[in-house]
Structure formats: structure tokens, C-alpha cells
Amino acid sequence: MASRELSCREVTQAFLDRIASDDEKVGCFLTIDAERALADADHAQAMLDRGEAKPLTGVPVAIKDNISTEGIETTCASKILKGYLPPYDATVIRKMRDHGMVILGKTNLDEFAMGTSTENSAFQVTRNPWDLKRSPGGSSGGSASAVAAGFAPLALGSDTGGSIRQPASLCGIVGFKPTYGRCSRYGLVAFGSSLDQIGPLARTVEDAALLSEAITGWDPMDSTSLDMPEVEFKDLKKGSLKGLRAAFPKEMFGEAVDPGVRAEIEKSITAIESAGVEVTQVSIPSIAFGVTTYYIIAPAEASSTLARFDGIRFGPRAEGKGHIGQVEKTRAEGFGHEVKARIMIGTYALSAGYYDAFYLRAQQVRALMTHEFQKVFQDFDFIISPTSPITAFELGALANDPMALKMLDYCTIPANMNGMPAISLNCGFADGLPVGLQLLAAPLQDEKLLQFAHCVEQLLPDATRRPPAP
């Protein structure tokens, strides 16, 4: 586009045509606004013609449907928000528009981002482009699948317990969760407010870093936003692996890790060591309690944040007897099973007589986990682990085993509990399916992590391999 070989409109139209042709088979998008996307492209072209272009001007992007987009339906893949048209853009959307990026549409997710397979959507199931019988992961499965399938070069997701990195792993792309507070949450429909973070899904670390620079930075509209500049891209390619030290927690490499995944991770660690990184196995005992701790804290926060969805202020409303009956019926009909279950678990954990035994104890374990990771980062620059213990599983295979689904977040949850930046990149294949390598750094070390990930990506021959067209 910058060289005028293609216009911004031609690029956008090419992606819209591909979505129209193939997304029926994959199910990535809930909403496409082609007219508005082409108008965005014309605006981007005008910026290019005036010499005001930025690195991502004219580049199309897909948006997870729990991020507010003015005038474009935002449903969180839930019947309780069907037809809701937000009156404002999320801060990340406004920033992307300022950069002249093109919003293609809104992608599918597990309802209110609660899930690990994108099967909990109220509207459709999303499939993995590597094998259409398999899950793309979740909850940002629509965004990850869209990037992997070539429906969008970039996408936004949200990550509460691994919801960017886990689907990135299963779809063979890059997924980056910034440090908590580096990217504004204003306009993100909250799930667990102390855990949620918006981040990019992309084909390469370089693309993820470019989008991170565009969307991050302090935001006065978000009380949890850190008073820091944007994540900088300029030094991304200046890094070196020589002399770095990386820790490899044995708790993240236990029996639950599939043998094929284990083999690819070991191969990647060997390549990283050959490039000059000292990799040492360590123990972080609190990781073993991460899943159970997370599934107290996150539902507790969800039970509070989802109280606003009552059918009174927005979304469809069911008729019931009196105000309480109306709210009860609206929530009963509007929420899906997984969302109801988490609201009930969270309300129970916060109730009188159980608060200290569950929620308070979970927060104490969270503090312990933070302390243990801080100790590791005193001696090491980075932490290496699998992203997901398994590759993409068949749709429906784990539907009757909710604990097995939750355990898929075993390696990703610690980054959310401690606010650390974390990234997943494709390191190889097991039985023809992508395997994700997760890299973590201490809070606020986003630029160093991206630099490290870019160097590691160059060592991995399968890092940018793409699936066949659907």
C-alpha cells in the first residue's frame, strides 16, 4: 500500500472476499460491516495520500466481540446482548482508528470470554483452520482462527487466563498478552477485572509488536491503566540471545503434557540453548494451585461484573412478574450454561461464611505465586514453558469434562495472576497440529520479551507455517 502497488480499498476488499468465500466453513466472524470497512479503507488511503501514514495505516484487523465498537453490534457471543450497538469505541479501537487501521468485523468467542474451546458461544461454533473437526481454543478462538485462516492479518483478543495465548497455540500463530495495565481495558466487557488484558494475535512477533505499539499506553478512562508510554517497537530487532538466562519450571512440564508437545518443546529449548541462552530447570510450587485459585477469583469477579446484565439498561428483556421476576427471567434466558455456572460459583465464594475459606485464601495463594515468580526473575531473564499441554482437540471431545477444559489453562494462568507479559509462538507440529511455546517475562518487561520472542522465532523453522486454505 505504501508503494502504491495496491490501494487500501483493494486490500480490504480482498480480505472481505476471502471471508465471504470461506468463513462459512470456519465460523470466525459474528458480524461483518463491509460498507464501514471500505469507508475505513478510503480514510486510510487519504492518510497515505497526505503523507500522514503510520506503520499499520490501511491494515485490516478483526476484533473479538467483547470489545466495544461504536455502532457495530457487540454481543460477547451471548443472547443477553443480542442487538446491542455500543454508543462508543473502546480505547484500543479509537487508537487503531487514529492509526488508520480498517475494522473488518467482530469475531466469535466463548460467551463472555468464559471458556477454552469457543464452543460456548450462543451463536455458532468456530473451527480450527488446521483441521475443521477440531477446536481453535478459546476464548479468543474466532480471532485466532481468523488470523490463521488468512481472513485478517491481525486481530485483537482478550486474555483473562490464557484466552489469547491458548488459541494462538492451537492455531499456530503468535498471541501476546501485555503486562496488566499497559493496554487500556476501557470498552472491554469485563470478565475478571483484575485479570483481563487486551492483546494482539498475529502471524509473526513483528506484527504483534507493531499492533501492541498502536494500542498500548496510558488511558485516563481506565483506572487500572499504568502511566507508561506505548510498548515500543523500534528496538525489536536489536536483541541477542547470547548470555541470557531462562528458567524452565518443572511444574509446567508434568504428566499432563502430551508426548508430542513435550518433544517439540524440548527441541525448541535445545535450539534456544544452542543460540547462547542458559536454560535451567526450576521449581515454582504455587503453579500447581494456579487453576483452582483462578477458578475462585475469576468467577467471583464475574459474579460482580455480570450483575449489570439485567435487561433493564441494554440488551433484550424477558417479561416476568415484577422487577425481580423480570430480571430473573432475563438472566435465565439470556445467559448460557457456563456463564450461569461461573456466576453461581463466584457468588458462593463471596457469600457470608465462605468468603474467608475460598476467596480470601485464593488471594493469599495468588500473592504467594507472585512472590515465587519474583524470586525466579531475580536470577533469570525469562521463563519458558508449553503454552497448552495438548494440541487442538476434536470439537465436543471435552464437552462432558469441564475440568479437563479448565486444566488446558494450567500453563497460561500464572501470567494473569501475576500481571506478567507473556507470548505464545508456534514452535513445531505434533501429528500435523501446531504446538505453542510460551515465553514469560517480569512485569513491565514487554519490550524485552518481544525482543526475545523475535530472536527465538528466527530459530524455529515452523514458526510462520500456515494451514491450507479451508
Quick: pLDDT tens for 205-226.
Answer: 999 999 999 999 999 999 999 9
User: Band of the pLDDT at 400, cuts 50, 70, 90?
Assistant: confident
| pLDDT reading at 399 higher than 90 | no
| pLDDT reading at 409 higher than 80 | yes
Residues 64, 79, 95, 177: which is the catalytic one? 64
- Note the Cα 397 to chain centre separation in Å: 22
Angle, alpha carbons 430-436-442 (nearest 5°): 155
Q: Which residues of 78-113 are buried (b: 16+ CB within 10 A; e: fewer)?
A: bbbbeebebeebbbbbbbbbebbbbbbbbbbbbbbb
Is residue 64 annotated as a catalytic residue, yes or no? yes
Query: 511455546: which residue's cell?
Result: 437
Q: Extract the C-alpha cell encoding 388.
A: 497448552
Number of C-beta neighbours around residue 245 at 10 A:
12
**Percent of the chain whose predicted confidence (pLDDT) is above 90:** 93
| pLDDT reading at 421 higher than 80 | yes
Strands 60-64 and 102-107 come out as parallel
| pLDDT reading at 470 higher than 80 | no
User: Band of the pLDDT at 392, cuts 50, 70, 90?
Assistant: very high
Q: Which pLDDT score is estimated for 293? A: 97
Domains and CATH numbers, the chain: 1-284+349-470 (3.90.1300.10), 293-348 (no CATH)
Give the tens place of pLDDT for each residue, 147-190.
999 999 999 999 999 999 999 999 999 999 999 999 999 999 99
Q: Extract the C-alpha cell encoding 62.
A: 478483526
Residues 78, 121, 139, 145: which is the catalytic one? 139
Is residue 135 annotated as a catalytic residue, yes or no? no
Residues 231, 446 contacting (CB under 8 angstroms): yes
Give the tens place of pLDDT for each residue, 303-315.
999 999 998 888 8
Is residue 212 annotated as a catalytic residue, yes or no? no
Q: Which pLDDT score is estimated for 107? A: 98
Residues 68, 117, 158, 163: which is the catalytic one? 163
Q: Which pLDDT score is estimated for 438? A: 98
Q: What is the C-alpha separation between 268 and 388, in angstroms, rounded?
A: 15
pTM of the predicted model as reported, rounded to 2 decimal places = 0.97
Q: What is the C-alpha separation between 226 and 262, in angstroms, rounded?
A: 37
User: Band of the pLDDT at 109, cuts 50, 70, 90?
Assistant: very high
